[in-house]
A and B are shown apart, each in its own frame.
Chain A
Amino acid sequence: SAVISQKPSRDICQRGTSLTIQCQVDSQVTMMFWYRQQPGQSLTLIATANQGSEATYESGFVIDKFPISRPNLTFSTLTVSNMSPEDSSIYLCSVETDIEQFFGPGTRLTVL
């Protein structure tokens, strides 16, 4: 298993601003994932982040809107850029070990 922490746990932001979410893992992992969970919905994968390479984005998500960094094997950041109220959601990072995926506690974002 893996212990994952996220910062901030929640935030309220103004339209047009950007927020960077941090994800820290207690062990080195190859793959990290970023998900979005809109209110009452399931999890939607935003992108997969490999250390040392560009993140791979899912259909409907672009790097300009959700830039991702993966500077080492235990850390990643997701930035939600130029936010609008539609970006209000829970953002979750996760890691995979042995075909099992473990999630962080999530960042609850509200955009006014």
Chain B
Amino acid sequence: GQQLNQSPQSMFIQEGEDVSMNCTSSSIFNTWLWYKQDPGEGPVLLIALYKAGELTSNGRLTAQFGITRKDSFLNISASIPSDVGIYFCAAVSGTYKYIFGTGTRLKVLA
């Protein structure tokens, strides 16, 4: 079946560093979404991407929809302690069919 592979699985970084994570698949998708989940909370939508090659920013976050439509990238610039959490990618296949990645656990060291 379809699945999304996220990497890295987890990362420790120093406050102020930039962070990059990606999500890949063997299938083509038309929409990519990035979520952040804080402990004890539901995932919160960060960025939505609708077109291949699209680059979208939300504050210190920038995400790109890969040209092949099989991948997406999320970058966080100048990380701060509140960036800690789990970041999930999701891709939309067909109508109402969302597939979630395995998650990247981010820990920021002050």
B48 and A100 within 8 A (CB)? yes
A53 at the interface (CB under 8 A from B): no
Q: Contacts A31-B96, A48-B96 hold; do A43 and B45 have CB atoms under 8 A apart? A: no
Residues of B within 8 A of A104 (CB): 42
Known: A43-B88, A92-B42, A105-B42. A99 touches B103 (CB 8 A): no
Give the B-binding residues of A (Cβ under 8 A).
1, 4, 31, 33, 41-43, 45, 48, 92, 94, 96, 99-106, 108
Q: What's the Cα separation between A42 and B103 when bound, in Å?
A: 6
Q: Can you report 18 A-B residue pairs in the complex whose CB atoms are below 8 A from each other?
A: A33-B98, A41-B103, A42-B88, A42-B101, A42-B102, A42-B103, A43-B43, A92-B42, A99-B48, A100-B45, A101-B33, A101-B90, A103-B42, A103-B43, A104-B42, A105-B41, A106-B40, A108-B40
Give the size of the chain B interface in residues (CB under 8 angstroms).
20
Where chain B touches its partner, the secondary structure class is strand
By the criterion CB–CB under 8 Å, are B101 and A103 in contact? Answer: no
Judging by beta carbons under 8 Å apart, are A42 and B42 in contact?
no
Give chain B's interface residues, CB within 8 Å of chain A.
Answer: 31, 33, 35, 40-45, 48, 50, 88, 90, 92, 96, 98, 100-103
Whether B41 and A96, one on each chain, are in contact in the complex, defined by CB atoms closer than 8 angstroms, is no
Contacts of B42 in A (CB 8 A): 4, 92, 94, 103-106
8 Å CB contact of B44 from A41, A48, A103: A103
Contact A106 B41 (CB under 8 A): yes
Residue of A nearest to B3 (CB): A42
Which residue of A31, A43, A108 is within 8 Å of B100 (Cβ)? A43
* B residues in contact with A33, CB < 8 Å: 96, 98
B2 to chain A, nearest CB (A): 12
- When A99-B48, A100-B48, A101-B33 are in contact, do A45 and B98 touch as well, CB less than 8 Å? yes
